[in-house]
Amino acid sequence: MLMGMFKKYFIYWITILCLTLGLTGLGYAFPTQGPSKQGSFTNLTTDAATLTSATPNCCTAMLAANTSYPPLTEERAQKISNMLESQACAVPNLQVGYSIITIPDGRCFSHNGNKQFPLASVFKVPVLLEVCRQLQEDILPFNVDKKLTLKREDLCIGSGTLNESPVGSQINIDKALNLMITISDNTATDMLIHLIGAKSINNFMRSLKLYDNDIFMTNRQAWLICLGEGSVMTSPDPDIVAQTWNNLNQKDRWDLAQEVEQANLNLSLAEFQHLEDVSGSTYSFTKQRHVAMTVDNQSSPNDFSNMFSKLWQREILADDWTEYALSILGAQKYNSRIPRYLPKGTPAYHKTGTISGVVNDSGIIISKRGTPVAVTVFVKNVNSGQDDVAAQVIGKISKIAWDNL
């Protein structure tokens, strides 16, 4: 009988230990409500997964001593690098850039890591972090429950559902942030950029000593410029628009974005969509890809992986705001890229991005060793019908990182 009781309690405590260390495949679970101004969660639970999330290095420290995983020698690192390079070059027409950083030791594997790529909707991650920073530091003197009012100049075609709401509708910041990240809502994004100021995004990245960025346009601004709007544009032909854009300096590009927004304040969503439909039926995919890859917010794989590394290590936000941001990133609905080949339930906090010719993903995964790893893969020059091929490349690069780091 005593032996039976011992066995029963031994199994119980082993189960509790596994839950506490986060090894049950449940991943790190974060609270779903925003932090209060006092720096605490309004609905903070103390389950095992939440305790693990508060100390993200505990699994790494424990698993580092697990001799079933070979140490990351220089020889192994070179083999990993070769595997990654092989995937990046597997499809000849694709231009791939990746940056993979193990946290917290900072070891980096990269290919075209410092090269600028069009971000597509991945640029929404620094928007999320800058909103959180401004709320944390009382630059925005309210909390995530603050209501924002939808204006006509916020409305953008493309991804999302908020553009179906009438002008004058209200949505709180928390909901807007979740829509922006989890379903890549363009209208919610533009509302938030108008809230924090477009120039603050580049300033935020530079404050982190990340300098490969040129992030200043709302979705609506970039899209309208691609369609040939603006006084400097002599034709709606995408090749001419791209050439004109390339001839502008940074100040002129900023001024054009502001001009286009002001000139189209009264443009309805239906009129906006009509402009896009006419362009789509008039010009080839190759032309549209050219302008989309050119007239877009830009950054490098290294900058985005470094940003995520700093986020995980609480170098950007306080603990509660970090967990809040990660909880939103962890609720991503589009998981066919970085998480594509990872075991079900693998923690992944990431944001995808897609425009004509561009397929991106960037975020943090927890490897099978328990190591947090920042993974950024940007792919451009994607042909029509080739988005899933690019997604597979991203997934394979991520799987190599998960298996080996």
What pTM did the predictor assign? 0.85
Instruction: Look at 34-38, 112-116, 122-126, 316-320 and tell me which has the smallest mean pLDDT.
Output: 34-38
Amino acid occupying residue 377? V
303 in the same domain as 288: no
pLDDT level of residue 36 (50, 70, 90 thresholds): low
Q: What local confidence, expressed as pLDDT, does residue 18 receive?
A: 43
Give, to the nearest 10 degrees, the angle between helix 124-136 and helix 199-207. Answer: 80
- How many C-beta atoms lie closer than 10 Å to residue 372's C-beta? 24
323 in the same domain as 179: no
C-beta of residue 182 within 8 angstroms of C-beta of residue 331: yes
C-beta of residue 148 within 8 angstroms of C-beta of residue 262: no
Residue 153 belongs to a domain: yes
Short-list 216, 177, 189, 197, CA closest to 327? 177
pLDDT level of residue 44 (50, 70, 90 thresholds): very low
Amino acid occupying residue 328? I
Q: What local confidence, expressed as pLDDT, does residue 21 receive?
A: 43
C-beta of residue 387 within 8 angstroms of C-beta of residue 359: yes
341 in the same domain as 306: yes
Q: How many domains does the chain have?
A: 2
pLDDT, tens only, 234-259: 999 999 999 999 999 999 999 999 99
Whose structure tokens read 């006509």? 152
Query: Which tops the pLDDT comparison, 136 or 10?
Result: 136
Three-state secondary-structure class, residue 314:
coil
Residue 287 belongs to a domain: yes
264 in the same domain as 280: yes
Residue 13 belongs to a domain: no
270 in the same domain as 182: yes
List the CATH number of the domain containing 398: 3.40.710.10
Residue 113 belongs to a domain: yes
Query: Average pLDDT of 256-277?
Result: 96
The DSSP bridge pattern shows strands 372-380 and 358-366 to be antiparallel
Q: What local confidence, expressed as pLDDT, does residue 14 receive?
A: 44
Residue 196 belongs to a domain: yes
CA distance 238 to 290: 7
Query: Average pLDDT of 326-354?
Result: 97
Give, to the nearest 10 degrees, the angle between helix 186-196 and helix 199-207. Answer: 80
Q: What local confidence, expressed as pLDDT, does residue 33 receive?
A: 57
Query: Average pLDDT of 176-201?
Result: 97
252 in the same domain as 142: yes
262 in the same domain as 148: yes
Q: What local confidence, expressed as pLDDT, does residue 104 receive?
A: 81
Residue 7 belongs to a domain: no
C-beta of residue 379 within 8 angstroms of C-beta of residue 358: yes
Domain that holds residue 230: 123-294
Q: What local confidence, expressed as pLDDT, does residue 398 receive?
A: 98
Query: Average pLDDT of 2-8?
Result: 42
Whose structure tokens read 């899933």? 388
The DSSP bridge pattern shows strands 117-118 and 358-366 to be unpaired
Q: What local confidence, expressed as pLDDT, does residue 34 receive?
A: 66
